[in-house]
Amino acid sequence: MLRSVLIGTGSHLPKRAVSNDELSQTVDTSDEWIVERTGIRNRYIAGDDETTSSLATEAARKAIAASGIEACSIDLIILATATPDQTFPASATLVQAALGCNGCVAFDVHAVCSGFLYAVSVADAMIRAGSAKRALVIGAETFTRILDWEDRTTCVLFGDGAGAIVLEGREETGEKPRGIIATKLHADGAHNQLLYVDGGPSTTGTVGHLRMKGREVFKHAVVNLASVLGEVLAEAGLEIKDIDWLVPHQANKRILDATAKKLGMPKEKIVVTVDRHANTSAASVPLALDTAILDGRIKPGDLVMLEAMGGGFTWGASLIRM
């Protein structure tokens, strides 16, 4: 059976960490409010010398090193981002040039916070179809560039960062074959006004700022995430109790707790990094995955569920045997 096997992960954060207390010196907020409502204690903010593609390149370098492969052996690069360096070319091609693996397929995927799940799904399909053997899949964002720092209901929630994985097509045998087992994606454009950016090249000609009706997004997130997770498990013929680790999109600790409760999943099996990184959109799942692999929680053979939900709405989940 040809499977997309995860052979390495990496992540990278901007140099500057900003605590809630530091933020509350310029924004009308408090550490107490942010921690209680979101679980966030810290976020990283990209400096002038850091961009989405530079963060992505560093995360990619670490994932490539962890995989023990040469960058030039990669034949597919997919970068999930909603904050590209430029309107075009795709930031994936900037990463490609920095890594020196020119000539292979490279493009961006835009599904906001679910972007990494969408990118993983496309890479998996291309690997299984035989059009790629080794795929570098990255989630990278500089969301702080599109925040309205006058809007305390959104600006305290987001941060910058990047995470990357390398997938390799392998013929897997045995009782518990490694690799991606099942992925489900969804989108519902009827809700695109609940979480969006009020600008763009074809409308205002500006980059715009993030706008969100947080309470409504929260409600949809819990329902959609629990439901897509159930779909993936049903396709895999597995149950909640079989999952070793849930690596969710890191938007709000309360969303993670409510989803876990709805699913009947113990909190100890959920990887939480929102306290350290805040919401890094497409970067949050691969950042959390890399964190839990590096600290020894996620081990080879573990069954790991990735899931995310974001603007569009878009949402999805993917089940991987490590």
Residue numbers annotated as active site: 113, 249, 279
Largest CA distance in the chain: 57
Q: Which two tokens stand for residue 4?
A: 């997309």
Q: Give me the least distance between CB of 152 and ligand UT7, in Å please.
A: 4
Instruction: Check residue 37 for interaction with ligand UT7 (CB under 6 A).
Output: yes
Q: Give me the least distance between CB of 258 and ligand UT7, in Å please.
A: 10
Q: Which stretch binds ligand UT7 (CB under 6 A): 8-16, 70-78, 151-159, 259-267?
A: 151-159
For residues 133 and 152, which CB has a smaller minimum distance to ligand UT7 in the complex?
Answer: 152
For residues 158 and 245, which CB has a smaller minimum distance to ligand UT7 in the complex?
Answer: 158
Q: Distance from CA of residue 257 to its chain's centroid?
A: 18
d(CA 141, CA 135): 19
Instruction: Count residues binding ligand UT7 (CB under 6 A).
Output: 18
**Strand ranges across the sheet with 105-109:** 2-12, 160-171, 134-142, 76-80, 105-109
CB environment 98-119: b (16+ within 10 A), e (fewer): bbebeebebbbbbbbbbbbbbb
Instruction: Check residue 84 for interaction with ligand UT7 (CB under 6 A).
Output: no
For residues 104 and 113, which CB has a smaller minimum distance to ligand UT7 in the complex?
Answer: 113
For residues 52 and 279, which CB has a smaller minimum distance to ligand UT7 in the complex?
Answer: 279
Instruction: Check residue 148 for interaction with ligand UT7 (CB under 6 A).
Output: no
Instruction: Check residue 310 for interaction with ligand UT7 (CB under 6 A).
Output: yes
Q: Give me the least distance between CB of 178 and ligand UT7, in Å please.
A: 29
CB environment 39-65: b (16+ within 10 A), e (fewer): bbbbbbbbeeebbbbbbbbbbbbbbbe
d(CA 197, CA 81): 14
Instruction: Check residue 113 for interaction with ligand UT7 (CB under 6 A).
Output: yes
d(CA 110, CA 87): 12
| Burial of 31 per CB tally in 10 Å (0-12, 13-18, 19+) | middle
Q: Which stretch binds ligand UT7 (CB under 6 A): 88-96, 176-184, 215-223, 259-267?
A: 215-223
Q: Which residues bind to ligand UT7, rule: CB under 6 A?
A: 29, 33, 37-38, 113, 152-153, 156, 214-215, 217-218, 221, 251-252, 255, 279, 310
